[in-house]
Chain A
Amino acid sequence: MSWALTTDQLTKDYRVGFWRPRPYRALDSLTLQVGAGEVFGFLGPNGAGKTTTLKLLMQLVFPTSGRAEILGRPVGDLTVKRRLGYLPENPYFYDYLTAEELLSYFAALLGYPPDERKKRAARLLDEVGIAGERRLPLRRFSKGMLQRVGIAQALLNEPEIVVFDEPMSGLDPLGRRDVRALILRLRDRGCTVLFSSHVLSDAEALCSRVAILAGGRLIASGDLTEMLAFRARGYELVVAGVDEAVIARAAPDARCVRIGPSRYTLELPLDPPPDRLLGALTAAGGHIVSLNPVRGTLEDFFVERVRSAGVGEGRASVWEAQR
């Protein structure tokens, strides 16, 4: 796989405090690769360092140490910026402009001639679903509408790589669905998408690979299917035609829930394997309706890794409580 984006020991310290400023490490030695054409999720609780990383990639802040490259060139290189789209977190634009004027302005900065600016603005506002509001001043836009404008401006130059910071933020369920569909369309066009989120279901639905940050450190990264394949934590068995007493004898440790007449769902541990149990239930006249491994969700994986890393414990708890 060729890399669209790489970071090498990328570190950022901020100075905090007025009288006696001391360094605060927002990002600690991040080494990461994002493949060309993939949808890469950047996950972590609030304050994990996600936005700092994205700002470093956009050169809105400068690294304390380490380096980052996009499309084989150092970040900040104008040739790279021409092939890049960026949506900041909770974007804010100029109140006095309309959506159309804003996009035309940004298209001018991208070097497009006047007629092309208008065409692109119209097409993208249509794509993000706010064509009807294109002549409305941005001060009248809701948070969700501004988010859509933000996405539109990030796509003006038909970028090869887009960096979205919390793209679902402020969107209603329809908006979230639209953005998910948009990200998949971008992927299908061959565009690399890097997005940060603390909504794990978005990552689960969209990403091929993810990185998890906590306390400014990378605590896990890799292929999502591989990550979760190893996360099977037991089995779910649905059996019919036997009574509860038979089940209790055959599987004393299983959690049994009656779901209908002589029909039960059993939650089984990963060990021992269910082969013997299946034999016993069939011998007792039972009928096996289904047997499925119970996979851990990304949420389970996330919370466990954040906790085991011993960073952001409090934040992980807060995040868990908010679920």
Chain B
Amino acid sequence: MKATAAIAVNVFRESVRDKVLYNLVLFAILLIGASYLIGQLTAGQDVKIIKDLGLTATRVFGLFIAVFIGIGLVSKEVERRSVYSLLAKPIHRYHVVLGKFAGLALTLLVNVAVMGVALYAVLAYMGWNVDADVQRAWGAPALDPAIGKAVALIFVELLLTTAIALFFSTFSTPILSAAFTFGLFIVGHFSADLRNFDQVLDSPGAVFLARGLYWVLPNLAQFDVTEQVVHGQPVPAGYVAIAVAYAALYIAMLLVIATAVFSRRDFK
């Protein structure tokens, strides 16, 4: 546990000293801020635009952080040979995998929280600037607690994405890992469609394959509740709990496989 924590703290330290991270977060905050101006251009849709753009910016920039830091977590250690001194210490290889994941999770937590606070700040300013009569016409209040749920689900989705990036990072090059992770992220947002392939396909083989892929590929669409939040629809706590449980199971599975791969690997 201590070894895992030490590695996690080191990953966090690496992240916060990385200028790329600051650029990404700054850009995300600027975009969230700019959503206020974009909202001004629309008639009566301003708060929806801010929520939509703010949550999307949080997801997209969080994705960049998760992927670009995640893919280098293990592969960079191996490529630069710093893994030699690390593994010579009295630690198991699974400590490295878990520590790296925990470190990036901590980084993401801080960054998503910063982006979430920025979004709430813009919305609070919006609410403060607009008449109560206009606000009553909005589907949901500017500071809707459901935004917190949406941000939390984005964080969970990013954790899953981090686990995917880390998994590929244990045996692949950073470029391939990035390509695989981005690919899976995109596919993961459409994987639910694979379940209903029997309605559009006649071939039992293709349907079987689609069903198989549906069960294997991560279902990331369930973490995106932007539409519900923007339109003031409720996001039930039960739904959030199931999504979190699904992510926890999937992450655990990925980390177990990543550990198995990493533990058997030769560092030539």
State the A residues within 8 Å of B (CB): 14, 55, 58-62, 78-79, 81-82, 84-88, 90-94, 96-97, 101, 105-106, 108-111, 150, 153-154
Contact = CB atoms under 8 A, between A and B. Distances in A.
B85 A106 contact: yes
Contacts of A93: 82, 85
Nearest to B89: A109
Given A14-B266, A92-B81, A108-B2, A58 B88 contact: yes
A58 B82 contact: no
Interface of B: 2-3, 6-7, 10, 13-14, 17-18, 80-92, 264, 266-268
Contacts, number: 79
A101 B14 CA distance: 12
A14 B268 contact: yes
B13 A78 contact: no
A88 B84 contact: yes
B104 to A, nearest CB: 15
Contacts of B266: 14, 60-62
Given A97-B13, A108-B2, A109-B6, A150 B85 contact: yes
Q: 9 closest pairs, A vs B, by CB? A: A88-B84, A86-B88, A81-B90, A108-B6, A61-B266, A109-B89, A96-B17, A60-B267, A82-B90
A96 B81 contact: no
Nearest to B2: A111
A93 B77 CA distance: 9
A156 B264 CA distance: 27
A86 B84 contact: yes
Nearest to B95: A109
Given A14-B268, A108-B2, A96 B14 contact: yes
A261 B167 CA distance: 79
Nearest to A101: B13
A86 B2 contact: no
A88 B89 contact: no
A105 B90 contact: no
Contact of B18 (A59, A78, A96, A153): A96
A88 B89 CA distance: 12
A291 B92 CA distance: 60
A275 B268 CA distance: 57
21 contacts: A55-B84, A60-B88, A61-B268, A62-B266, A78-B90, A78-B92, A81-B90, A84-B88, A86-B84, A86-B85, A88-B81, A88-B88, A92-B81, A94-B82, A96-B17, A96-B18, A97-B13, A109-B6, A109-B90, A110-B90, A111-B2
